[in-house]
């Protein structure tokens, strides 16, 4: 199944309830409206994705698997200080998975899309993955778990870091004195996103997540 990384958010579908506004880090509490989120998505990727798409799938067997996930409690990680992708995703809570959505279905799923930043991350074993962080939504500001994630992500940009656990009462950050430099993946960010979502991409009108969310399979 062919798919590419989207460069933009679709406009909100007509007659649908607008998506919840989000607060952006460093924005002094200013709400980020869906139109502003769309503008961010347009700036997320540069160059022609289509030009690299065919080459990516021709050499896909040469790439190691890439996951889109949070760091595990038992792994120290480093986060690249510059490599990140802003992308609207659907959080399918039944399986706790994130899905990328094809352009033709953005309007149908407009109220389900949430703005994520995918940070290029490596662990101390050399495995690369994308660390998804949802923009600072109002209901998450009161979550100690969310705050610990933000603090750990920022610290991991300069030192090997891990989140001790994901308990709401016992979360903490640990650092390691590793001297080795992180080995960043050679793939460009567009390829990493394609790898991470190759099995989590809604591009078929009969995709089970799409049919469930649009009420066609109850």
Query: Does some domain include residue 10?
Result: no
Look-up: residue for tokens 């952006």? 24
Closest CA to 21 of 31, 11, 29, 30: 31
Rounded mean pLDDT, 38-62: 44
pLDDT tens per residue, range 156-211: 999 999 998 755 566 789 998 888 899 999 999 999 999 999 999 999 999 999 99
Query: Does some domain include residue 199?
Result: yes
pTM of the model: 0.71
Q: In this structure, what token pair is assigned to residue 171? A: 């979360």
Burial label, 24 (beta-carbon count in 10 A; 0-12, 13-18, 19+): middle
Query: Does some domain include residue 101?
Result: yes
Query: Does some domain include residue 123?
Result: yes
Q: Is the pLDDT of residue 78 over 60?
A: yes
Query: Does some domain include residue 93?
Result: yes
Ranking 56-60, 133-137, 146-150, 203-207 by mean pLDDT, the lowest is 56-60
Q: Quick one: pLDDT band at residue 22, thresholds 50, 70, 90? A: very low
Query: Does some domain include residue 116?
Result: yes
DSSP lists the bridge partners of residue 100 as: 201
**Number of folded domains in the chain?**
1
Query: Does some domain include residue 110?
Result: yes
Query: Does some domain include residue 162?
Result: no
Long-range CB contacts (within 8 A, 24+) of 68-72: 68/98, 68/118, 68/129, 68/130, 68/132, 68/196, 68/197, 68/200, 69/129, 69/130, 69/131, 69/132, 70/131, 70/132, 70/149, 70/163, 71/121, 71/123, 71/131, 71/152, 71/162, 71/163, 72/123
- Give the domain range for residue 194: 22-67+82-137+187-213
> 33 or 65, which is more confident?
65
């Amino acid at each position: 199944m062919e798919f590419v990384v989207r460069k933009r958010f679709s406009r909100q579908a007509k007659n649908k309830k607008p998506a919840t506004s989000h607060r952006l880090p460093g924005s002094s509490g200013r709400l980020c409206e869906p139109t502003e989120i769309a503008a961010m998505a347009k700036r997320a990727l540069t160059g022609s994705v289509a030009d690299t798409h065919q080459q990516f799938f021709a050499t896909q067997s040469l790439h190691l698997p890439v996951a889109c996930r949070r760091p595990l409690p038992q792994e120290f990680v480093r986060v690249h200080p510059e490599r990140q992708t802003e992308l609207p995703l659907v959080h399918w809570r039944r399986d706790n998975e994130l899905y990328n959505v094809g352009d033709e279905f953005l309007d149908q799923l407009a109220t389900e899309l949430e703005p994520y930043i995918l940070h290029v991350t490596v662990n101390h074993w050399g495995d690369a993955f994308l660390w998804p962080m949802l923009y600072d939504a109002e209901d998450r500001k009161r979550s100690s778990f969310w705050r610990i994630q933000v603090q750990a992500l920022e610290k991991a940009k300069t030192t090997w870091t891990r989140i001790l656990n994901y308990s709401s009462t016992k979360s903490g950050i640990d650092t390691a004195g590793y001297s080795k430099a992180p080995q960043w993946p050679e793939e460009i960010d567009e390829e990493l996103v394609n790898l991470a979502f190759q099995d989590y991409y809604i591009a078929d009108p009969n995709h089970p997540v799409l049919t469930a969310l649009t009420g066609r399979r109850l």
